[in-house]
Each structure stands twice: as structure tokens, then as C-alpha cells.
Structure 1
Amino acid sequence: MDPGFVPQAGVSEEQEAMIPPLPKTVQVRRCGYCMVKQPMRARHCRVCQHCVRRFDHHCPWIENCVGEKNHPLFVAYLAVQLVVLLWALHIAWSGLYFEGSWKWLKHNIFLLLSFVLMAIFTVVAVLLLASHLYLVSCNTTTWEFMSRHRISYLRHCETENPFDQGLVRNLWRFFCTCHLVAWEKMYFQEDSDPV
């Protein structure tokens, strides 16, 4: 699925008119690989060879970038994976039968090993889902969270996160809206217009 690739043709004049002028401390980047003008929160993925809007990360498990268009589906994918793993853990646990002697280990070794492996994957899925839900609730991305000191629009920003609009609005915007956002407007709204 398209994660929100920035079109190679760049931004149209109409879309560019919607974007407010940027102050000198924030420079609009031109991608050194695609040579397109990147909107705010976009980043070039070297694996996909495209710039992605609201880039979160490149996921090797789905062999795609996670960006503005497919991030809600990625979170749903993590939730489904967690439910399937919990169900598999339940099935594996119910198949184990314990006896007083060590004979039960001989009969259940493969089931026990699969249970341990699924338990490890379940812990990983829980941690991934929890971290993404936390980032979504703050309206930030994995890339922004990990590389804040290298991103010009965050490095020079006075607030911790200029895109955070509160828990409810962040979750609503993430899960219930399906249009692309002009992040530049949200970034500069706080400076000019207190909400």
C-alpha cells in the first residue's frame, strides 16, 4: 500500500499556496535522492527509493514504509498480530499436560519450545503496539522521536512537540480522518493563533 509517497512531480501550485511561508530557521528540504521538495515531516526511504509523507519507519516485516496513509493500518496489523499470538499461546498451553515425572518433557518438548517462542513474539508485539500507541497519542513518529536533534523543524522548535493537539484530537486525527494534512499549517498555528 502507498504509505504516502511524495509525488515525483512535486507539489502543485495550489497545494503550495496552502503552505504558509517558512521562517528562516526552518529550511524546506529538497531531497538529495528524488530531487523533490519535501513537505514537513517527510523523509526519503533508501529502501523504497521514495520520499514518504509523515515518515514513521521502514518495516522489513511488511516490506514497505509506514507513513501518513498506512500508519493506522499498521497499528491495526500489530493489534491483530497480538490477538493471534495470544490465541496461539492459549492453544499451546491447553495442549500441554504435566505429569509428576520428567516423562512429560519428552512428550511435550516441541509444544513447550513453540510456547516459549510464541511468548517471546507476544512480548515483542505488545511492546511494538504499546510504543506505537504512545507515539500516536502524542502525534509524533518513530523517526521524529528517535532523531529529534537532527530534524531542523524540531531542533529549533520551542515546544516539545508542535504537532501535539491533545490525546483525543491526536487519536481522532490518526484513526478517523483519511486525508493528507498540511503539517506546516499545524506547525505555525501555535505561533500565530492560540487555540
Structure 2
Amino acid sequence: MVQLNDHMKLSASLQLIGRCIVSFIFVVLTQFAISLVPRFFSGSPFFIQLTLSALVLLVVVGIGGWSRRILRVYASAPAFVFLNILFIWGSYVAVIRRAVSNLMDALFNGQIAVIVIGLCRILSSDPGRVTHESLCSDRLVESSGFGVEPGNKNSPSLRRVRYCKSCKAHIKGFDHHCPAFGNCIGQNNYFLFIALLLGFLTAEASYLVCSVQFVRKSQKFDRNWLEVGHAFPFLAAEINLVGNLAISTMLFSVLQILWQGVFLTWHLYCVCFNIKTDEWLLELIALIMFSQINWKKYPEFQLVQSEPGESFTRVEFRNPYDKGVLQNVKELLALR
């Protein structure tokens, strides 16, 4: 039995190492592919370069999906995120740092440190797992195979408990399973999740400012750099590499800011109206389909109405958890 457990641990460790290696390959592939955009389209407007970089990212994502389906090669999303952070920070230290002030340098390095700490915390955090004993004691019943609802809806300890198929666990205040952070986002770590999103956005915005400063300063010295390149041809390739790296990582940061900004706006909306991501998707369907949809997923969102003289009942969407924007925000802050 002991040998079997050791074998399973060794197998899991080797599998994790393999997935990290695959993630490293995809990070290098992604950054290299984006670096080709400023190299071959240096004369194009920034918007064109940004669009091409987005297409490059989509191609890399498609390659990742193809490798999973065909080759059965899996990457680790948290490792991919962490390695991209290291790549951006390494690019900053090696290239961008020389063009920024000491204050900006300290600010950016501090932001990277906070992000790394936050990422480690959310990876190991408990989102609010509910034990099997608690489920049995409160008579939780499955709802259409998608979630769970307390038999006693007035039970404050187990309200809004949902089942995560990825973690195979019941999560209190379940919002969604986040592959990028390798964990469920629930009642216990939702505030940390929002704070980490803000941290990513501010760090990427800071890197964008620093890289723009570097590009502007390098443009002022372009004539001198060209003279150096003509005098020492072996330095010309290094000079071009440095410039392409600064612009490609800037393009990468802009793309990250764009989608993360939308994602954060979405979650701020959910906070203001006290609705979770999974429930928000349910509400979106309700808004699109109006009264033609039958909400079977979470019964507490169903409002059944029967008008006098009508031979059928109408089912409408309602959010029983919405207590007003201020109270909803206070509830989030109370989860710290």
C-alpha cells in the first residue's frame, strides 16, 4: 500500500512537471510569434500590429486545443500564467528598466511581487468547500444534475451551494471554476480573485507606461543606434531584438488589459447586483429568451405567476440575493 501511494505521488509529480514543460514551450511560442509582428510590420500603424498580435494569440490557442485533442498533450494554465509573468518581468529587467525612473521601477517590481504572492495564495486557497457531512445534515438535493440546493432554503450556512464538476466538490457561494488560477472561485476567495484581477491590470498598465517610455527614448537615439549597427554589424541584430522585444511585450500587455478589463467589468456588475457568474449566464439567457425559457437549474431564481383566468402559469426570472448595490458591495467587503 505504501509503495502504491509513493508510485501515485511520483506519477502525479512527473505529470505536473510534464505539464509545466509544455506550458513553458507555449509561452516561448506565444512570445516569439508576437515578436514577429513588429519585426515584419514595423511600418504598420499600432492598431494593425495589435490586431495581428491578437490573431497570433488565437492561432496559438488553436494549436493548444489541437495538441490536447490529437496528441493528448496538456499544459498547465496556472503555470502558463506564472511563466508569462516571469517573461514580462524578465523583459522589464533586461530591457525596459533602463528607461524608467527609480520610483516607477520600485512600483512595478512591487506590483509583480504582489501578483506572485496573490497567485500563490489563490492557488492554495479554500473557495468554500462544503463537507459531505454538512451536505447530509442539511439534506441538500441535486437540481437537474447541475447544482445543489439546500433542502431548507432558510439555512444560512448552506445557501447558494453549487457543485463544481472540475473540482468534484460542493462550493459555498460558487462563482466559476477558474482554469487560469487552477481553483474554484467561491465565497472564501472571491474578494482575493477581484483583488488579483485589479493587480494584474495595474501591473500591466504600469508595464505599458514603462515600455512606451522606453520606445520613445529609443526612437530619440535611433540615429545613434544605426551608426553603432553600421560600425559594429554584430550588434545590429541585438539592437533589433531589443526593440522588437519591447514592442511585442507592449502589444501583449495591451491585449491582456483589454480582455481583463472586460472581465473585471463583468465581475463588478455581478458584485453590484449580487449575482454569480453561473447565475449571470442564466439571467442573460432569460433576458434574451424572455418568458420562453424554463429555468430548471436553480429553483430560487424562478418566480411562478398565475393570472386569474389564465390556463397556464408564467415563470419569470428574479434574483432573491440582490439587496441593493451598497449592501451587495458591503457583503463582498465583509468576505475579506
Length-normalised TM-score, structure 2: 0.43
Give structure 2 stretches of 5+ with no counterpart.
1-124, 151-157, 227-238, 284-294, 305-315
CA distance in 1, matches of 2:202, 2:250: 15
CA distance in 1, matches of 2:170, 2:278: 13
Deviation at 1:111, TM superposition (A): 1.1
Give the number of the structure with larger relative contact order, counting CA–CA contacts within 8 Å between residues 6 or more apart.
Answer: 1
The two structures, once aligned, show a CA RMSD in angstroms of 2.9
Give the number of aligned pairs.
Answer: 162
Secondary structure of residue in 2 paired with 1:162: coil
Secondary structure of residue in 1 paired with 2:177: strand
| Larger radius of gyration between Structure 1 and Structure 2 | 2
CA distance in 2, matches of 1:75, 1:108: 34
CA distance in 1, matches of 2:144, 2:279: 19
- 2:259 corresponds to: 124
Aligned residue runs from structure 1 range 61-80, under 5 A: 61-80=180-199
1:39-90 per-residue CA deviation (whole Å, 9 max, x = no partner) reads 4422211211101111100001110000011101100111111111111111
- 1:29 corresponds to: 141
Assess, with a 3 A threshold, how the Cα gap between structure 1 residues 53 and 2 changes in structure 2: closer, same or farther. Answer: same
CA distance in 2, matches of 1:28, 1:10: 9
- 2:322 corresponds to: 164
- 1:10 corresponds to: 134
Secondary structure of residue in 1 paired with 2:134: coil
Assess, with a 3 A threshold, how the Cα gap between structure 1 residues 121 and 127 changes in structure 2: closer, same or farther. Answer: same
CA distance in 2, matches of 1:177, 1:47: 24
CA distance in 1, matches of 2:265, 2:281: 16
Assess, with a 3 A threshold, how the Cα gap between structure 1 residues 45 and 11 changes in structure 2: closer, same or farther. Answer: closer
Correspondence for 2:201 among 55, 74, 82: 82
Would you say the 8 A contact 2:302–2:317 is kept in 1? Answer: no
Secondary structure of residue in 1 paired with 2:188: coil
Would you say the 8 A contact 1:31–1:44 is kept in 2? Answer: no
Deviation at 1:156, TM superposition (A): 3.5
Would you say the 8 A contact 1:28–1:40 is kept in 2? Answer: no
Deviation at 1:176, TM superposition (A): 2.2
Would you say the 8 A contact 1:136–1:170 is kept in 2? Answer: yes
Deviation at 1:31, TM superposition (A): 7.6
The runs of at least 4 aligned residues of structure 1 exceeding 6 Å deviation read none
CA distance in 2, matches of 1:164, 1:171: 11
CA distance in 2, matches of 1:137, 1:32: 28
- Per mean C-alpha deviation after superposition, the further-off stretch among 91-100 and 163-172 is 91-100
Q: Does 1:51 align with 2:170?
A: yes
Secondary structure of residue in 2 paired with 1:43: strand
Give structure 1 stretches of 5+ with no counterpart.
17-26, 179-195
Assess, with a 3 A threshold, how the Cα gap between structure 1 residues 45 and 94 changes in structure 2: closer, same or farther. Answer: same
